[in-house]
A and B are shown apart, each in its own frame.
Chain A
Amino acid sequence: MAGGAIGVVRSPNIVHAALFLIVVLVGAAAQYIVLLAEFVGITQFFIYIGAIAVLFLFGIMLTRAPMGSRTDFDNDQRWPAAIVAVFLAGVLVALVVDAFGNDKIRLDDQLLETSRTGPVGDSIFRNFVIPFEVVSMLLLAALVGAVVIARRD
């Protein structure tokens, strides 16, 4: 999964980068299943791998990206970007180890019962109804906006 992430940002072939992203997404879905978040894992499979990855491949085709390997996908900020990323990683890992050094997640039957699909649905439609409706309006707006922006007129 970590190698897939490196592949997304370093691959000289744009189609390979999109396929590496699918590797990362499958890895993340596996992490959710391990953490007993079954509904999030399945949603990750359907939405990310089924829809978003295909949308990215469509975007690559529509912008007529060169299919072979090319070296000019990166701009000349590569080394400053690497320095920023390594610095940020150092700060984040140090903070995380300092704050949650010995904490453990206990995976047991009780956690499994409370994180099944039923309780997730209960929580969405009981505690988060208004954000749910707002998100549905946002999806509609994004749909209309994408059509308007990409329309050929």
Chain B
Amino acid sequence: MLAADVALNQYLILSAFLFCTGVYGVLARRNGVLVLLSVELMLNAVNINLVAFSAFTRNISGQVFALFVITIAAAEVGVGLAIVLLIYRNLRSPDLDRVDQLKG
């Protein structure tokens, strides 16, 4: 027999914190791999929200969406790391600040 009440708020605040940490990382990091790590933080924040609301509304669709987000994240990391690798190979550095050839 299982019965417990947990506040919905704690998950939403945790998720907001993770998302804002990810935003900070994307804005402040220079290395391409570290920017991708921060994007993963933001995707995880969204997943925690989806699963928490899935339990709150007792609707399983939230979990299915979380699974889809995990799949998309895997594809995104694969392509993103390939792009960072290409930047490294062309510029001899993974720093995104040096990708400025289109700058006027």
Give Cα distance in the complex from A151 to B59, angstroms. Answer: 43
Q: Is the CB of B34 within 8 A of A73?
A: yes
Residues of A within 8 A of B78 (CB): 55, 142-143, 146
Given A37-B51, A81-B24, decide whether A56 and B36 contact each other with a Cβ distance below 8 A: yes
Report how many residues on chain A are interfacial, defined by Cβ distance under 8 Å: 86
What is the total of A-B residue contacts with beta carbons within 8 Å? 255
Task: Bin the interface of chain B by size.
Answer: 35 or more
Asked whether A106 and B5 contact (CB < 8 A) given A65-B31, A84-B23, A111-B55, the answer is yes
Interfacial residues, chain B to chain A (CB-CB below 8 A): 1-9, 11-14, 16-25, 27-34, 36-38, 40-41, 44, 47-48, 51-52, 54-56, 58, 60-61, 63-64, 66-68, 70-79, 81-86, 88-89, 94, 97
7 smallest beta-carbon distances between A and B, as pairs: A81-B27, A142-B75, A9-B25, A85-B24, A92-B16, A81-B28, A89-B20
